[in-house]
Amino acid sequence: MVISGTADKKRVIRKKKFDTQDFSFTDVINTEWRHCSFVNCEFDSAVFKHNVFVDCHFTNVVFSGCLFTECQLAVNDGKRSGIFENVRFDSCQFTRTDFNFPIIKDCVFINCLYTETDFDGSRFYNTRFVGEMDVVEFRGHSVLANTGRWGIFRRVEPRKFKNPMENVDFTEAQFRYVGFSNGINLSNCRFPDDGNSFLIRSPRA
């Protein structure tokens, strides 16, 4: 199955609810999903390229062996940036893909590959990372969020939506380059104790 826009225009899907649907082996290309919800859905070996998800909700969803290329997975609409709850990302590949400040709760990222992946100000709760992490960024608040419409009215202040990093488990992760910035609080995180990683505080350029 293919869900796609044209070469010069995204296909826009608004306010759709998907429950217990199998999107396995689907190619999703050049689309924009706005205020959609996915519940008890499965994505096995799906390919996502040049897609935008605006304030979408994912609950009890599995992504297995999926490819995400140049996607924006959690663009905010004002104060709402989407929710990922009880979502499993297993052996997925993220390339030049980012988030804004969604709630990511009770999720797991297992043996995924990351290339220029920016979780930005995603608000993490009870989430676990397993496997190698290379060129990944976590921030204390979003710097990528849309703050206004047409640059005129300031609709949201991202600094008010702090990333708590509450009970985030990195003990089975292998860090190559992972950045923590913008005042992020790591006191409620657990890190590998194998001696192969270190944290540079307040690095100078």
Residues 54-95: pLDDT tens digits?
A: 999 999 999 999 999 999 999 999 899 999 999 999 999 999
pLDDT value at position 193?
81
Q: 3-7, 68-72, 73-77, 177-181 — which is least confidently predicted?
A: 3-7
Q: Output the average pLDDT for the chain.
A: 91
**Is 60 exceeded by the pLDDT of residue 19?**
yes
**Is 60 exceeded by the pLDDT of residue 200?**
no
**Other C-beta atoms within 10 Å of 85: how many?**
18
pLDDT value at position 21?
96
**Is 60 exceeded by the pLDDT of residue 155?**
yes
- Helix/strand/coil percent split, the chain, to 5: 0, 55, 45
Q: What are the two backbone dihedrals, phi and then psi, of residue 21, each rounded to the nearest 5 degrees?
A: -115, 140
Angle among Cα 18, 22, 28 to the nearest 5 degrees reads 80
Among 8, 6, 12, which residue's Cα sits nearest to residue 34? Answer: 12
> Measured between alpha carbons, how far is 93 from 199 in angstroms, rounded to an integer?
25
**Is 90 exceeded by the pLDDT of residue 25?**
yes
> Measured between alpha carbons, how far is 80 from 55 in angstroms, rounded to an integer?
6
**Is 60 exceeded by the pLDDT of residue 179?**
yes
Who wins on pLDDT, 3 or 20?
20
> Measured between alpha carbons, how far is 50 from 27 in angstroms, rounded to an integer?
11
Tell me the one-letter amino acid at 81: S
pLDDT value at position 205?
40
**Is 70 exceeded by the pLDDT of residue 152?**
no
pLDDT value at position 204?
45
Q: What is the pLDDT of residues 105-147, one digit of tens each?
A: 999 999 999 999 999 999 999 999 999 999 999 999 999 998 8
**Is 90 exceeded by the pLDDT of residue 156?**
no
The average pLDDT across 14-39 equals: 97
pLDDT value at position 5?
84
Percent residues over pLDDT 70 in the chain: 91
